Structure 1
Amino acid sequence: MQSALIDVRTGSRETVHDLTRHCSDFLREEASGRDGLLHVFVPHATAGIALIELGAGSDDDLLAALGELLPADDRWRHAHGARGHGRSHVMPALIAPYASIPVLAGAMALGTWQSVALVDLNVDNPARHVRLSFLPG
């Protein structure tokens, strides 16, 4: 298995950050035209990985839906950091901290409008790491 850790700066606001190019670049080096599986994992307790259409409003819709489902208010028992920080710790139960994507001939077998994205509601930590692993078939 080949693996690499990439650093991502998410800034100081909630974000859906596109990782697709990073994943493609990693596979170009590591898969070398082979079939297998790409595993994308974020080793943080307050972030997730989503396969979603980006750039057409879906990313903003996702953040709005998470805002309604997990409001940034004082209801959370886990209460250090920014207001509503506890919701960031609940989010990975809804948007898992990983995704596995089939790789065919060295490229992700994504649907036409699918992208790989890091979902991060935690405004207290703008530095994230994402582990990309290629498991050859």
Structure 2
Amino acid sequence: MIDITARCADFVAGAGDGLLNVFVPHATAGVAVLETGAGSDEDLLRALAQLLPPAGPGGEGWVHAHGSPGHGRDHVLPALVAPTTSVPVVGGRLALGTWQSVCLVDTNVDNAERQVRLSLLTG
């Protein structure tokens, strides 16, 4: 899990009002808005591990066939943590709650590089 709030804030700085769209174009990644640093981020990863276990000692049990053992579960993650989210922007600043952060979530150990696409609809 990577906190990308600062990057999002930089992207909208001075842009007025609008709606920031955050999108990750990957089959194993999602975007979450949650509290970080107090354990909620770790709790989310723990909950995902419980919901999407490796399915067996060698990762068998997932139909998805390529990648490291248990990799099929990574491809199910975006159904639970959507690959896109929108954040209101007011006066060129993210209108997040006090403890909210925008985070990239990806449990896939087969690919360490990820892209995040940001777009702003002003108005």
Same fold (TM > 0.5) = yes
Question: Is 1:85–2:71 an aligned residue pair?
Answer: yes
Q: Which residue of 1 aligns with 2:36?
A: 54
Counterpart AA for 1:23: C
Counterpart AA for 1:54: T
Q: Which residue of 2 aligns with 1:17?
A: 2
For 1:75 and 1:23, the matched residues in 2 are separated by 38
TM-score by length of 2: 0.94
Q: Which residue of 2 aligns with 1:45?
A: 27
Q: Which residue of 1 aligns with 2:11?
A: 26
Count of matched residue pairs: 119
Question: Is 1:97–2:83 an aligned residue pair?
Answer: yes
Q: Could you tell me whether the CA contact under 8 Å between 2:15 and 2:122 is conserved in 1? A: no
TM-score by length of 1: 0.84
Counterpart AA for 1:18: D
Greater Cα shift, 90-99 or 74-83: 74-83
Percent of matched pairs sharing the same residue? 63
Unaligned runs of 5+ in 2: none
Give the superposition deviation at 1:33.
4.4
Query: CA offsets per residue over residues 75-103 of structure 1, 9 Å max, x none?
Result: 11003111110011101011000000100
**Aligned structure 1 segments of 4 or more residues deviating by more than 3 angstroms:** none
Q: Could you tell me whether the CA contact under 8 Å between 2:19 and 2:86 is conserved in 1? A: yes
CA RMSD of aligned residues (A): 0.8
Unaligned runs of 5+ in 1: 1-15
For 2:98 and 2:4, the matched residues in 1 are separated by 16
Q: Which residue of 2 aligns with 1:134?
A: 120
For 2:89 and 2:73, the matched residues in 1 are separated by 33
